[in-house]
Amino acid sequence: MRRTFLKSATAAVVAITTLGFGTTVAAQDAAEFYKDNVIKWIVPYDPGGGYDEYSRIIIPYFERYTGARVDIVNLPGSGGMKGAVEIFNSPADGLTVGIINGSAMVTNQLAEIEGATYKVGDYNYLGRIVADKRVMVASESSGITSFEDLMNNGTTEIMGATGLGGSTYVDAVITGEVLAIDQRVVHGFDRSGDIRTAMLRGDVQTMWGSLGSALSGIEDGDLKIILHGEKVATGMLEGIPSIYDIAMTMDDGEKRVKILESWEALSAVGRPVAAPPGIPEDRLAFLREAFAQAMNDPEFVASSLESDRELSFATGEDMSRIAKSATELEPDVTELFVKAIRGEI
Amino acid sequence: MTIFEGMASGFFQSTSLAVFPYLFAGSIFGLIIGVIPGLSGHFAMAMAVTFLYTMEPAAGIAFILAAHATVAQGGGLTAILFSTPGTGQNAATLLDGPPMRDKGEAGIAVGAAMASCFLGATFGAIVLALLIPVLREVVLFFGPPEVFVLAFLALTFVAVLGKEDMTRSLIAALLGMLLAMVGVDNVTNTFRFTMGSERLADGLQLVPVILGLFAVAEMIDLWVRGGTLAKDVPTALSAKETQKQIFKGIGLAFKNWWLVMRCSAIGTGMGLIPGLGSAPASFVAYGHAKQSSPDRDTFGKGNVKGVIGPEAANDAVEGGALASTLAFGIPGSSSMAILLSGLFILGLETGPRMLNQNVDIVFVMIFTIIFGNLIGTIIGMFLVNPLSRATSIRASVMVPVLMSVIATGAFAGERAIFDIGIAIVFGILGYAMKVLNYSRAALLIGFVLGFAVEKNLYLALLLDGPLFVMQPIPLGLMTVTIIFLGWNIYTIFRDRRRVIPK
């Protein structure tokens, strides 16, 4: 009987010590696991693009805080979907992460595009690097100087967009529908750069895009921002109406605002860094911590501002929430979006 | 800063100790990438960009531009010596380059090619410099209607290429256009001809198609007939002989300077137009060289002008493409897009600001192109000897070696094994076309221009309606096209009628 007692006592002691040190041991394990290990970082676009650039700027800091070496792998294709799928299906050992075109992946999933075999809500997010502010610009040659002009001048403006389902297209169609803008959306341009050229030629008058990409055009005097998608206008956007301002002046204002908020949720997904579903909790926590430290490192923030790359950090937990809310929209809103993405509006 | 101050500053910067070594390194890097089949300018830029994060602006530009500039030169080398285009730009060189090698004139072809490259690049760079004040207006000339008609005009050059059998060439060209439509259509998001394959949804990539059509097909041909690559010259030329030939080739390029200038003009002009790419320019130049030459029947059998024309054009494209990219900060092609981000990483703005404030950087670019090509030409000459010996190695050794290089090249573009399969499929198609006497060049033109034609037709119709042809420039170009086609059809029937009485 003593033996059994001793046995169970030893077992209890061992159990308690393990539980007690359990969490610290796990944290220790994660750091040790990553030290001098190799993390694969997938970029779903060619080198030189925005996603690739952001990755290359942050990776040295990420390496510093994980203790691991990070290898970039460029996997372009299907407008960013190939890389996103690759990340989703990677081994869940915590050694593969990647940056994804969040908004595009959400729209692909909502519209059930062929090949969208991932679930945006199921990724393990490390955090978000940036969410671009969306703005509508009008060309100098169009003579439109404000959104009021646009609505009151009685002409049907031509709005340029890239491919169906792309952000320029979805922005144009959703806002056009909700704010009853008299416009004709011409899509099929290869890249937003081509739309800009068309604006300079006078073929196209307006387009939606990110604030960052419009900056150079504004400085050159070719473009003017006439509308934006932020609830609170800061910096350059002060004095320019937001979609919410306009929506509230229309009847059924509340309903319109709700749709616009869902649209904003879509853009809020932005450019997150994610790992596949199912990786061990401790490793995910470690990666999230390292990512947060890298994003908040003063040196990193300074160098990013220098290269004119905006940042809007969100933690991994926040990101999961944002991603879920972007994909779990109300049925009528989802229906509207799907129609927009498929070009049926 | 005035233009002259910019020019002087740019010159001194590019020849300075801080920059020139990078220029040199970039040229060599580009040359090597060009020589390896399947690795193109786009790939060279992508690799080069990753080094830029730690470089100073002028040095970084010199490196990346020099690399891009010499890729076509390296590609020309392999096109002539191994019937394998190093890049898409060199596909037109395949028409007369290998026949010259077969005749034992490989050295002449290479010398002429390298010299034409250099002259063409210089032409393009100078035009870029001259256009600086009016760059924006010039590039704005070309909208969807203009590009559509131009692409269509380029397509009709197919008629010239396949004069002996226009029907077959047209069939090949239209087949090429059909193949360009495989994939997801950008405009309606419909899957076309993908047969349920996800890989095909992105469309057929240019590099595996070219490698298959021209390189793999040549390998199959070589394997089947045995012997050596250089068909009629079983023993290798001596080093001295090759060297003499190279100098002769260089001399020939200078002798045909007027042809070089015209073809360079074609190259630069087509480079200005965003979205066309560099392959069409070399084919149009070839067509023009053939058309304007008194001995046009020898084209396709080893006429040095058939090498000079395309090579001058494909390097002149550089200057044109750079012009439109710099004028607006809007890239005209994927390699220009990478260059643009490279500039961004280096902290440089493009657009009117660059032309006004940083004109010296623009001149650094111009001098980089000129010097880079010069270095490429000189180094390339040294590469020729060892490489040309390989053309006398027998098939049973060459084919496996080249096939592995080709397979690697096909894989490298998108890191996809699938692309190797595409190359093989097109290799079989290319061999069949070769045997049945269908012009592969026509298929390639149709393939490359298919995108440009369809996309711009769509945009032109959407923006201007079906009467877009009536606008001045498209109307003028259409008239030229119709006259050109009409004249060619007429001469074919006329020549046929002449032969029959005998």
Over range B452-464, report the average pLDDT: 83
Q: What is the 3-state secondary structure (H, E, C) of B447-464?
A: HHHHHHHHHHHHHHHHHH
- Domain range annotation of chain B: 3-496
Residue A275 predicted with pLDDT over 90 = yes
Which amino acid, residue A338?
A: V
* Cβ of residue B417 closer than 8 Å to a chain A Cβ: no
Cβ-based burial of B78 (10 A; exposed 0-12, middle 13-18, buried ≥19): buried
Give the mean pLDDT of B275-299.
80
Q: What pLDDT shows up at residue A317?
A: 92
User: Contact A197/B274, CB-based, under 8 Å?
Assistant: yes
Task: Note whether A97 and A106 are within 8 A (CB).
Answer: no
User: Distance from B294 to chain A by nearest Cα, in Å?
Assistant: 42
Q: How far, in Å, CA of B109 to CA of B257, rounded? A: 16
pLDDT of A71 higher than 70: yes
> Which residue do the tokens 């009528």 mark?
A332
Q: What is the pLDDT confidence band of residue A294, given thresholds at 50, 70 and 90? A: very high
Identify the weakest region by mean pLDDT among A44-48, A104-108, B135-139.
Answer: B135-139
Give the pairing of strands A134-139 and A314-315. unpaired
Asked if B121 and B370 touch (Cβ cutoff 8 Å), the reply is yes
Which of A145-149, A324-328, B5-9, B485-489 has the least mean pLDDT? B485-489
Is residue B264 within 8 A of residue B313, CB to CB? The reply is: yes
Please name the amino acid found at residue A89.
N
Whether A35-131+270-328 and A134-265 share one fold: the answer is yes
Beta partners for residue A185, in sequence order: A159
Q: Which two tokens stand for residue B18?
A: 């801080």
Chain A residue closest to B324 (CA)?
A: A197
Q: Is the pLDDT of residue A11 over 60?
A: no
B334 touches chain A (CB under 8 A): yes
Q: How far apart are CA B393 and CA B182, in angstroms?
A: 39
Of B50, B143, B331, the CB nearest to A193: B331
The 8-class DSSP code of residue B260 comes to H
How many Cβ atoms are within 10 Å of B368's Cβ, its own excluded? Answer: 30
CA distances (Å), origin B130, targets B5, B127, B362: 15, 5, 12
B452 confidence band (pLDDT: 50, 70, 90): confident
**A76–B46 C-beta distance less than 8 A:** no
Closest to A272 (Cα-Cα) out of A116, A104, A115:
A104
Q: Which residues pair with A158 in a beta bridge?
A: A184
pLDDT for the residue B234: 54
d(CA B44, CA B71): 8
Whether B25 has a pLDDT exceeding 70, the answer reads: yes
For chain A, give the number of residues: 345
Residue A121 above 70 pLDDT? Answer: yes
Q: Is residue A2's pLDDT more than 70?
A: no
Cβ–Cβ gap A187/B187 under 8 Å = yes
Encode pLDDT of B53-89 as tens digits. 677 777 888 888 888 888 888 888 888 887 777 667 7
- The confidence score (pLDDT) of residue B262 equals 92
Q: Does B455 touch chain A (CB under 8 A)?
A: yes
Residue from B45, B343, B462 whose CB has the most chain A CBs within 10 Å, to mutate: B462
Of A265, A284, A285, nearest in space to A170 by CA: A265
At residue B55, the 3 state secondary structure works out as: coil
pLDDT computed for residue B229 by the predictor: 64
Give CA–CA dist A273/A102, Å, rounded. Answer: 9
Between A23 and B187, the more confident residue is B187
Is residue A117 very low, low, confident or very high in pLDDT (cuts 50, 70, 90)? confident
Percent of all residues in chain A with a pLDDT value above 70, rounded to a whole number: 91
Interval A43-54 mean pLDDT: 81
pLDDT of A219 reads: 80
Q: What pLDDT digit, counting tens, does each position of A276-290 carry? A: 999 999 999 999 999
CA distance A342 to A330: 18
Say if residue B412's pLDDT is above 60: yes
Contact assignment for B338 to A220 by CB distance below 8 Å? no
Instruction: Provide the pLDDT for residue B483.
Output: 83
Measured CA to CA, the distance from residue B17 to residue B493 in angstroms comes to 62
**Residue carrying the six token digits 């979006």:** A337
* Stretch B220-233: mean pLDDT: 73
pLDDT value of position B236: 61
Looking at residue A76, its pLDDT comes to: 79
B492 touches chain A (CB under 8 A): no
Q: What is the 3-state secondary structure (H, E, C) of chain A?
A: CHHHHHHHHHHHHHHHHHHHHHHHHHHHHHHHHHCCCEEEEEECCCCCCHHHHHHHHHHHHHHHHHCCEEEEEECCCHHHHHHHHHHHCCCCCCCEEEECCHHHHHHHHHCCCCCCCCCHHHCEEEEEEECCCEEEEEEHHHCCCCHHHHHHCCCCEEEECCCCCCHHHHHHHHHHHHCCCCEEEECCCCCHHHHHHHHHHCCCCEEEEEHHHHHHHHHCCCEEEEEECCCCCCHHHCCCCEHHHHHHCCCCHHHHHHHHHHHHHHHHHCEEEEECCCCCHHHHHHHHHHHHHHHHCHHHHHHHHHCCCCCCCEEHHHHHHHHHHHHCCCHHHHHHHHHHHHCCC
Q: What is the structure's pLDDT at B425?
A: 92
Asked whether B448 and B173 are in contact (CB, 8 A), the reply is no
Q: State whether B187 and A198 contact (CB < 8 Å).
A: no
The CA distance from B11 to B358, in Å, is 14
Q: Are A82 and B184 in contact (CB under 8 A)?
A: no
The mean pLDDT of B161-172, rounded to a whole number, is: 73
User: Which runs of consecutive H residues, i.e. helices, occur in B359-416?
Assistant: 359-390, 395-414
Per the CB < 8 A criterion, the answer to whether B228 and B87 are in contact is no
In the predicted model, is pLDDT for residue B315 greater than 70? yes
Select the more confidently predicted residue: B450 or B114.
B114
Please, which residues bridge with residue A159 across strands? A185, A206
Mean pLDDT, rounded, for B259-270: 90
Give the range among A57-66, B348-357, B380-389 with minimum mean pLDDT: B348-357
Closest by CA position to A199, among listed B328, B67, B41, B38 = B328
- A308 chain-B contacts, CB cut-off 8 A: 344
Q: What is the CATH number of domain A134-265?
A: 3.40.190.10
Give A-chain residues touching B344 at CB under 8 angstroms: 53, 307-308
- Which residue of A lies nearest to B354 if distances are taken between CA atoms? A220
What are B102-160's pLDDT values in tens digits?
888 888 898 999 999 999 999 988 888 788 777 777 777 778 888 888 777 777 776 56
> So what's the pLDDT on residue A303?
82
Amino acid at A303: S
Domain ranges of chain A: 35-131+270-328, 134-265
Output the pLDDT for position B132. Answer: 73
Q: CB A307 to CB B463 under 8 A?
A: no
Among residues of chain B, what percentage have pLDDT more than 90? 7
Chain B, window 206-235: residues with a beta carbon less than 8 angstroms from a chain A beta carbon: none
> The tokens of A81 are what?
């979907």
Radius of gyration of chain B (CA): 22
The CA–CA distances, whole Å, from A5 to A11, A12, A13, A30, A220 equal 10, 10, 12, 36, 84
Task: Tell me the pLDDT of chain B averaged across its residues.
Answer: 80
Residue B51 confidence (pLDDT) above 90? no
Rounded to 10 deg, the angle between the B257-272 and B279-291 helix axes is 140
Q: What's the pLDDT band for A127 if we cut at 50, 70, 90?
A: very high
DSSP string of B97-156, one letter each residue: HHHHHHTT-HHHHHHHHHHHHHHHHHHHHHHHHHHGGGHHHHHHT--HHHHHHHHHHHHH
pLDDT of residue B351: 67
- B316: which residues sit within 8 A by CB, 6+ positions away? B120, B121, B123, B124, B127, B263, B264, B265, B266, B267, B268, B271, B281
Burial of A92 (0-12, 13-18, 19+ CB in 10 A): middle
Which of A53, A201, A219 minimises the CB distance to B345?
A53
Find, in chain A, the residue whose alpha carbon is nearest to that of B201: A78
**Surface-to-core class of residue A301, CB atoms within 10 Å of its CB (0-12 exposed, 13-18 middle, 19+ buried):** middle
| Nearest by Cα to A49 from A75, A69, A71 | A75
Report the pLDDT averaged over residues B171-176: 88
pTM of model > 0.80: no
Q: Please name the residue of chain A whose CA is at the shortest distance from the CA of residue B325.
A: A193
Least Cα distance to B19 among B368, B375, B376 occurs for: B368
Nearest-by-Cβ selection for A188 from B53, B347, B458: B458
Contact A263, A325 (CB under 8 A): no
Lowest mean pLDDT among A21-30, A77-86, A262-271, B278-287: A21-30
Q: Cα–Cα–Cα angle for A244, A168, B275, nearest 5°?
A: 160
Whose tokens are 């000459």? That residue is: B381
Q: What are phi and psi of B210, to 5 degrees?
A: -65, -45
C-beta atoms of A190 and B186 within 8 A = yes
Q: Verify whether the Cβ–Cβ distance A47 to B338 is below 8 Å.
A: yes
Between B191 and B312, name the one with better pLDDT: B312
Q: What is the mean pLDDT of chain A?
A: 85
B191–A200 CB contact, under 8 Å: no
CATH of domain A35-131+270-328: 3.40.190.150
Label the pairing between strands A271-275 and A314-315: unpaired
Specify the pLDDT at position A292.
94
Strand partners, B123: none
Nearest CA in chain B to A163: B186
CB neighbour list of residue A157: distance below 8 Å, 6 or more residues apart: A138, A142, A144, A150, A181, A182, A183, A184, A205, A206
Identify the bridge partners of residue A227 per DSSP, sorted by sequence position: A136
Q: What is the mean pLDDT of residues B405-420?
A: 78
Average pLDDT over residues A318-329: 88
- Torsion angle defined by CA atoms of residues B489, B491, B497 and B500, in that order, rounded to the nearest 10 degrees: -100
Q: What is the pLDDT of residue A43?
A: 92
Portion of chain B with pLDDT greater than 70, in percent: 88
Give the integer Cα–Cα distance in Å for B402 and B455. 36
Q: A228 pairs with which residues across the strands?
A: A135, A242
Distance separating alpha carbons of residues B377 and B305, to the nearest angstrom: 18
Q: Are B216 and B426 in contact (CB under 8 A)?
A: yes
Contacts for B361 with CB less than 8 Å, ≥ 6 apart: B10, B57, B58, B61, B348, B354
Residue A116's pLDDT is: 83
Please report the pLDDT score of residue B334 as a whole number.
Answer: 66
